[in-house]
Amino acid sequence: MERSGARVVMEALERQGVDVFFGYPGGVVLPLYDEMLNWPQIKHILVRHEQAAAHMADGYARATGRVGVCLATSGPGATNLVTGIANAIMDSIPMVAITGNVNSWAIGKDAFQETDIQGITIPITKHNYLVTNVDDLPYVLEEAFYLANTGRKGPVLVDIPKDVFIKKTSVAFPDKIERRGYRLPPTPDAGQIATAAKMIAEAQKPVIIAGAGVMHSHSWDELRTLAETCDIPVINSLLGLGCFPRDHELSLGMMGMHGEATGTLAVQEADLVMGIGIRFDDRLTGDTSKFAPNAKILHFDLDISEVGKTVTPIAFVIGDLKDSLQAVLKEVAPKTHPAWRAQVKSWQETYPLVVPEGKFLSRTVLRALNEHTEGEAIVSTDVGQHQMWTSQFIKFKKPHTWLSSGGLGTMGFGFPAAMGAKFAQPDAEVWAVVGDGGFQMTLQELQTAVEFNCNVKIALLNNGYLGMVRQWQELFYDHRYSHVAMGSPDFGKLAEAYGVKFLRCSRTEDLDATLEEARAHNGPVLCEFVVEMEENVFPMVPAGGSNSQVIMDPALKTPVEAAK
């Protein structure tokens, strides 16, 4: 049956089980927007800025494990997606970005709103396409979803000229995708598995560092079984939070630059560090020459290019993590490490996270938010101090509940990502924890939230600064504050203008009532928490420093000592 390229796009979305996608119209994509009217079962969310469409698709994907889809017109519409696409490639998020382009016969002639989005996004996509023949469109779209959500996941861009949306094709969708040179992760090698099991059996001070790869491979049950069987403490990378229950006795929370001291010190003292689905990024390792000096490193990953990129492992296991962990579990025997667990517990007792009383702090707010939501809500953040405090104080119990920009560190991500998660999981409680800086980058999406009654709660921590930048200027630039004082609008009047329920809280005494009122309201709520201006995030490992040199919270009575 002949159908237009626009209809092929909508058929592709339906075939892939896409129930909602995010976009903004423009001239060259009007044929597709016209076709959308024939597909009421697939909801299109009209954003107010294309960057938010990409972040919503990203949040949708993180909250579900499915492919998020965003759409933009040519030129500035397409380029406005770039930050969101880059964010997705850094964090291995499955996304398909569809862009329109000028008519195929006009490409290369500087037509109105023509931009080479394919060339622009080559470095930040897993793959991308410019489709100039409508007969190619069914296969390209099917392959785009396949590439985005297999192997190491990531964003794929499909650029479609206006005339390709209009032209007709009778070509069917393929039954199978085969791309020369593209290989899925291999079956774990038996020798690698045997070596890993032997290292686990010999270790006396083992730790696991579990990352987002556990989430992407749905291997959180295997991770927990391995940790419990072999009595191994589990640390999470920033993006791995939620893949191991934070209230579990073996959980040490996050480690690294702003992680909890227990995990950071445990890695420095360990004799075996198992990296499972992590890339050993610089915020986690600190100075790699001094990282885990006493440990053998064992790396589990599906991407061989990550092995040895920053730290050199003694051994590695390459393959899908679920397969790899299941194979290891067949080879290991139950084991306990009482002396090691006692040492870890001593660090936990000596270096707890501190919330000083008597001041209204961001930590005060997040501690209360955790108590009210009991670690069950989906929580997203922007980037900065509030992101680190959220990762410390919200005790995530389940996968797909923590949404944060890791590798790219994107301000403005938190609010639209939370909306994407809410559209994906309409029955879930969803909070966006944002700062007064990042929120002002994407707050126009309040109108989108109102239009669709997107029941997202926004915890705006307003300290009047670009907080993390100010902290660095305080600690490393002799308190010379340069362009970090963040002027803000009257957020109450702003919320009123958009028709959003607004709550302001500046005292600990009002905190519980504010959170209760926000949670009870059926619809978007903006909660402004006017907090202490010069609060710092601790613990802290200075950039490029050793993880043994943890700067602890001055409120702690016992100064930290490097692990010997």
Active site residues: 50, 112-113, 162, 468
Cβ-based neighbours of 509, under 8 Å, separated by 6 or more: none
Cβ neighbours around 352 below 10 Å, total: 13
Is residue 116 within 8 A of residue 102, CB to CB? The reply is no
DSSP codes of every residue in 359-417: S--HHHHHHHHHHHHTT-SEEEE-SSHHHHHHHHHS---STT-EE---SS--TT-HHHH
Instruction: Find, among 238, 488, 282, the residue nearest to 384 by Cα.
Output: 238
Is residue 503 within 8 A of residue 526, CB to CB? The reply is yes
DSSP E strand boundaries for 193-313 = 206-210, 234-236, 251-254, 272-276, 296-301
Give the separation between CA 58 and CA 22, rounded to whole angstroms.
10
Give the separation between CA 270 and CA 236, rounded to whole angstroms.
15
Is residue 232 within 8 A of residue 202, CB to CB? The reply is no
Give the separation between CA 200 and CA 270, rounded to whole angstroms.
12
**Tokens encoding 382:** 């922007």
Query: Phi and psi of 431, rounded to 5°?
Result: -120, 135
Instruction: Find, among 290, 289, 223, 281, the residue nearest to 256 by Cα.
Output: 281
User: Counting every residue, how long is the chain?
Assistant: 564
Query: Phi and psi of 485, rounded to 5°?
Result: -70, 120
Give the separation between CA 18 and CA 20, rounded to whole angstroms.
6
Is residue 448 within 8 A of residue 48, CB to CB? The reply is yes
Is residue 544 within 8 A of residue 288, CB to CB? The reply is no
Cβ neighbours around 262 below 10 Å, total: 25
CA angle 115, 121, 126 (to 5 degrees): 145
Is residue 72 within 8 A of residue 99, CB to CB? The reply is yes
DSSP codes of every residue in 514-530: HHHHHHHSSS-EEEEEE
**Ramachandran category for residue 453: left, alpha or beta (phi over 0 → left; psi -120 to 50 → alpha):** left
Question: SS3 letters for 156-185?
Answer: EEEEEEHHHHHCEECCCCCCCCCCCCCCCC
